[in-house]
Amino acid sequence: MPEALNLVDDARPAQREAALELLDFLETQAPFPGPARIGLTGPPGAGKSTLLDALVRALRQRGRSVAIVAVDPSSQRSGGALLGDRARVRSARADPGVFIRSMAARSRLGGLADATHASVTILAAVFDCVFIETVGVGQSEAEVARVADSVAYVAQPGAGDVLQYMKAGVLELPDVFVVNKSDRPDASQTAAELATGLSLSEPGAGGWTPPVLLASARAGTGIDAVEAELERHYRHILESGELDARRRRAREAFVIEALTRRYGSFGLDRVGGPDAVAERLREAGQSSFALVGELSRRIERALAAPAAPR
Amino acid sequence: MQVNSLGLTEAQPENNAIRIAYEALGVTLSRRARCRSLQLPAWNEALGLPRPFDQQWALRTQQILALESDLLEYGDLFDGSSVVAQKVDELLSGAREELEKVLAMGGAVPAVENAYMKQRLVESNTARVRAIESGERIVVGLNAYTEAEPSPLDEGGRSILRVDESAEREQIERLRAFRAERNPKEVEAARRALADAIANGQNAMPPSIRAAHAGLSTGEWADVLRERFGEYRAPTGVSAQPVRVSSESAERVRARVQDLGRTLGRPLKILIGKPGLDGHSNGAEQVAVKARDVGMEVVYEGIRLTPEEIAKSARDEGVHVIGLSILSGSHGVLVLDVLHHLRADRAAEIPVVVGGIIPEEDARKLVAAGVRRVYTPKDYDLARIMSEIVDVVAETATAA
């Protein structure tokens, strides 16, 4: 499996072909709904990794295997990156039931790496639960919502932060809010402000009201509730049909992004633009990966062909 | 006060004796600011572990200072010195500024948790290492006056303490014998009582004492706590912002890293690992920061990893190369163990380079065992080390 993850990150043409083939197989053969894909985001220092560590330990105690894709930003100047989350998720240790792949966001400012969708597809074929962890930098909530079934936002206690969240539109996307470090005196206050802030925004699709939970990853309190709420959300969207819709939107977003990155929106328009992609994915039987391959070839032909005479 | 060994050099190690003596003077000269107790490092700590002789020499250095000089007989020599007064003012205002920052974060504990303290330490050492690399800061014998007569103190790499490999085996045997003599029922009951107490938030001390009487070992005791609380991982401090200044040599390496990334199909990914129990992370941190600054994707997990964990990380993360840092003197066992686990994990093709306080003779053994490069404290030019790591990955990629 580590080799498969290397493959889907490989930019060389032959490897890219092989990767698309493997991913196509996985996406078309994977049973629905498969394992939950949980996004975990929040500002630096909120304790995402520590919370993740506690969640993973709880899941492991019940015998569930866990995979984590941890994305860290790249230096825009050197292109390098320090991928540090492994250090915090201590439960991975030498346990074969826990898998972590750290990824650099590279040229993507929004927080997720290009290979995230592909990596999650691979890991979901093997593990009982897949987490996608990324630093919350405003944009990344939206990006993580595009690959995850459920998004948990980890906040830390702090007066006034909630207003900033609201301004940044952070409250719109997450399905579960966790105020970590609940042993701090201002934690309940922050949770109350968050709940108020949420009550002011539009109710989410399918009648889900995001819960605001208090937890202390360090003391190990509130972790079970976080896990239970994530599971409740997963069941909720599964039953309402929202899960299916989210997965489809994730595939759409992946195809559109993959093509736009390579050929620009000019290239994408040659094959009908985003709407055509959505249309094609609604037709059963073809994976997002096969579609990227097919549309890439069509775009390349269209771009190579001489302009039609007017 | 422990005079730090950060400034000790492997190159011309005899100079360290002089450095240590001057540093001892520095922390004792002012009566009012004098350290309360003093422990000097040995001259050869950049070569390996000191022998009793070397520790004796360090002890004599401070005995000579205390007993052969009249330093202890006067009031503060600096009273009335305007130069020192100004220095003190600078220190005070700097310290107060720093305290304000920490207080604004909510105190020392949050400043540890949000990695602020560790990051400042790493940053300041990065600046120091960079100044040595560029020659801006002179270290005699290392980046200046490097010509040297053969040293009679250096007995062909034998002027350090050698730990007998049987020591570990004997200790394990002693522990095994001790455990065999315990009453297993009593041990189990004590273990459960401890686990119950911490699960219910009760005082852990009484059941801990009972567990000790029942013969629960320190490791077993800690395992009970670990199961409940997990294990604390300190922030690594190396996620700080990249440096703005860059050297020409670093730029050259960066271009090579990018080129190699195209050949490999993805950017060069490196795992920096510190196996074993030594907490000396300065070297590993600087290598991690430099690797990031020349464009590598760096997985750094901090200190105290087992060889097994490192091998698993390397495989799961899909790295192209592993850099191990060991300053404990246990490089022989630990590095071979990592290589062994890599083979067991079917990741034997991942090349390994090692850095640390490693005597030449041991370095040869490590290379014979399959390690691709060995770096010691005299290799202070990090850009060159990075360039060689690129070579190692390129060689491996072509061989595959």
Quick: pLDDT tens for A184-195.
Answer: 888 888 898 888
Q: Is the distance from CB of B254 to CB of A78 less than 8 angstroms? A: yes
Residue B322 and residue B224 share a domain: no
Q: Do B317 and A9 touch (CB under 8 A)?
A: no
**Closest-CA distance of chain A to residue B394, Å:** 16
Q: What is the pLDDT of residue B164?
A: 82
Q: Is B313 on the interface with A (CB under 8 A)?
A: yes
Mutate to test the interface with B, among A6, A52, A86, A90 (most CBs of B within 10 A): A86
- Judging contacts by C-beta atoms under 8 Å, the chain B residues touching residue A78 are 242, 254, 292-295
Is position B123 within any domain? no
> What would the pLDDT profile of A232-264 be if each residue is shown by its tens digit?
999 999 999 999 999 998 999 999 988 988 898
The answer, yes or no, to whether residue A310 has pLDDT greater than 70, is: no
Kindly identify which residue of chain A lies nearest to residue B307, measuring between CA atoms.
A94
Tell me the mean pLDDT in the region B69-76: 91
Residue A288 and residue A198 share a domain: no
- Judging contacts by C-beta atoms under 8 Å, the chain B residues touching residue A54 are 230
- Judging contacts by C-beta atoms under 8 Å, the chain A residues touching residue B265 are 9-12, 15
> What would the pLDDT profile of B323-334 be if each residue is shown by its tens digit?
999 988 888 889
Residue A258 and residue A203 share a domain: no
Residue A233 and residue A250 share a domain: no
Residue A270 and residue A228 share a domain: no
Residue B173 and residue B307 share a domain: no
The answer, yes or no, to whether residue A170 has pLDDT greater than 80, is: no
Q: Do A101 and B231 touch (CB under 8 A)?
A: no
The answer, yes or no, to whether residue A12 has pLDDT greater than 80, is: yes
Which of B:171-230 have CB within 8 Å of A?
228-230
Of A253, A260, A250, the closest CA to residue A295 belongs to A260
The answer, yes or no, to whether residue A123 has pLDDT greater than 80, is: yes
Q: Do B230 and A90 touch (CB under 8 A)?
A: yes
Residue A278 and residue A152 share a domain: no
**Count of domains for chain A:** 2
Q: What is the pLDDT of residue B353?
A: 97
- Judging contacts by C-beta atoms under 8 Å, the chain A residues touching residue B303 are none
Residue B393 and residue B252 share a domain: yes
β-bridge partners, A154: A178
Residue A153 and residue A112 share a domain: yes
Tell me the mean pLDDT in the region A271-282: 88
Residue B262 and residue B379 share a domain: yes
Which has more pLDDT, B157 or A193? A193
**Count of domains for chain B:** 2
Residue B305 and residue B216 share a domain: no
Residue B358 and residue B254 share a domain: yes
Average pLDDT over all residues of chain B = 90
Which of A215, A240, A265 terminates a domain? The answer is A240
The answer, yes or no, to whether residue A11 has pLDDT greater than 60, is: yes
Is position A14 within any domain? no
Residue B389 and residue B253 share a domain: yes
The answer, yes or no, to whether residue B190 has pLDDT greater than 60, is: yes
Residue B356 and residue B287 share a domain: yes
The answer, yes or no, to whether residue A92 has pLDDT greater than 60, is: yes
> What would the pLDDT profile of A19-44 be if each residue is shown by its tens digit?
999 999 999 888 889 999 999 998 88
Q: Is B236 on the interface with A (CB under 8 A)?
A: yes
Residue B211 and residue B306 share a domain: no
Nearest CB to B297; choose among A11, A54, A81 = A81
B137 CB neighbour count, 10 Å cutoff: 14
Tell me the mean pLDDT in the region B369-373: 95
CB pairs under 8 A between A and B: 109
**What is the pTM (predicted TM-score) of this model?**
0.85
**Closest-CA distance of chain A to residue B174, Å:** 27
How far is the CA of A76 from the CAs of A83, A172, B243, B294, in angstroms?
Answer: 15, 28, 12, 12
The answer, yes or no, to whether residue A62 has pLDDT greater than 60, is: yes
pLDDT band (50, 70, 90) for residue A79: confident
Token pair 């504990």: residue: B109
- Judging contacts by C-beta atoms under 8 Å, the chain A residues touching residue B288 are 82
Is position A127 within any domain? yes
**Closest-CA distance of chain B to residue A288, Å:** 22
Of B315, B274, B269, the closest CA to residue B292 belongs to B269
Kindly identify which residue of chain B lies nearest to residue A185, measuring between CA atoms.
B106
Q: Which domain holds residue B204?
A: 166-229
Residue B380 and residue B257 share a domain: yes
Residue A265 and residue A152 share a domain: no
Which of B:348-377 have CB within 8 Å of A?
none
Max Cα–Cα distance, chain A, nearest Å? 72
Is position B301 within any domain? yes
- Judging contacts by C-beta atoms under 8 Å, the chain A residues touching residue B342 are none
Is position A171 within any domain? yes
Residue A125 and residue A274 share a domain: no
Is position B6 within any domain? no
Q: Do A78 and B306 touch (CB under 8 A)?
A: no
Percent of chain B exceeding pLDDT 70 equals 96
Average pLDDT over all residues of chain A = 86
Q: Which domain holds residue A260?
A: 245-303
Residue B263 and residue B209 share a domain: no
* Span of A88-92, B59-63, B85-89, B95-99 with lowest mean pLDDT: A88-92
Pairwise CA distance, residues B271 & B239, whole Å:
15
- Judging contacts by C-beta atoms under 8 Å, the chain A residues touching residue B123 are none
> What would the pLDDT profile of B235-247 be if each residue is shown by its tens digit?
777 765 555 556 7
